[in-house]
Amino acid sequence: MKRRIGQKIFLSGVVVSFLFITGVFSVQAREKTVILATTTSTQDSGLLDVLLPIFEKETGYFVKTIAVGSGQAMAMGEKGEADVLLVHSPEAEKKFMAEGYGINRRLVMHNDFIIVGPPGDPGKIKGAKSCVESFKKIASAKALFFSRGDHSGTDVKEKAIWEAAGINPEGEKWYRETGLGMGQTLNVAAEKKGITLTDRGTYLALKKNLGLDILVEGDAVLLNIYHVIEVSPGKWPRVNSAGAKAFAGFMVSKETQGVIKTFGVDKFGSPLFFPDAGKKDEELGEKIITKFQAPKSK
Partner 1 sequence: MDLILEGIKKAFWLLITFDPEVMGITLLSLEVSGIATLVSLLIGISTGVTVALSRFIGKRMVVSLINTGMGLPPVVVGLFVTLFLWRNGPLGFLEILYTPTAMVIAQTIIATPIVMGITLAAIQQLPQKLRLQILSLGATRLQMVWILIKEAKLPLLAAVMAGFGGVISEVGASIMVGGNIKGYSRVLTTATVLETSRGNFDVAIALGIILLLLAYLVNLILTQIQQRERPR
**Which CB, 23 or 171, lies closer to partner 1?**
23
Closer Cβ to partner 1, 81 or 133, answer by number: 81
Q: Which of residues 64-83 bind partner 1 (CB under 8 A)?
A: 64-67, 79-81
Alpha carbons 227 and 104: distance in angstroms, whole number: 10
**Helix, strand, coil percentages in the chain from 3-state DSSP, rounded to 5:** 50, 20, 30
Min dist CB 21 to partner 1, Å, is 6
Least CB distance to partner 1 at residue 196 (A): 14
The distance in angstroms from the start CA to the end CA of the chain is 78
Smallest separation, CB 257 to partner 1 (Å): 22
Q: For partner 1, how many residues bind (rule: CB under 8 A)? A: 53
For residue 205, state whether it binds partner 1 (rule: CB under 8 A).
yes
- Say if CB 248 and CB 59 are below 8 A apart: no
Tell me the residue type at 145: F
**Interface region with partner 1, contact rule CB under 8 A, candidates 26-34, 105-113, 120-128, 281-289:** 26-34
Kind and range of the H or E element at 33? strand 33-38
Check residue 46 for interaction with partner 1 (CB under 8 A): yes
Q: Is residue 290 a contact point for partner 1 (CB under 8 A)?
A: no
Contact (CB, 8 A) for 153 and 111: no
Please identify, among the stretches 63-71, 145-153, 160-168, 252-260, the one whose residues bind partner 1 according to the rule CB under 8 A.
63-71
Site membership for partner 1, residue 180 (CB under 8 A): yes
According to DSSP H, which parts of the chain are helical? 2-24, 40-44, 47-59, 70-78, 90-98, 131-141, 153-165, 182-192, 200-210, 241-251, 254-262, 265-268, 281-291
The answer to the question of residue 236 lying near partner 1 (CB under 8 A) is yes
Tell me the three state secondary structure of residue 65.
strand
List residues near partner 1 by CB under 8 A: 1-3, 5-7, 9-10, 12-14, 16-17, 20-22, 24-25, 27-28, 30, 33, 35, 40, 43-44, 46, 49, 52, 62-67, 79-81, 180-184, 186-187, 205-206, 208-210, 236, 238-239
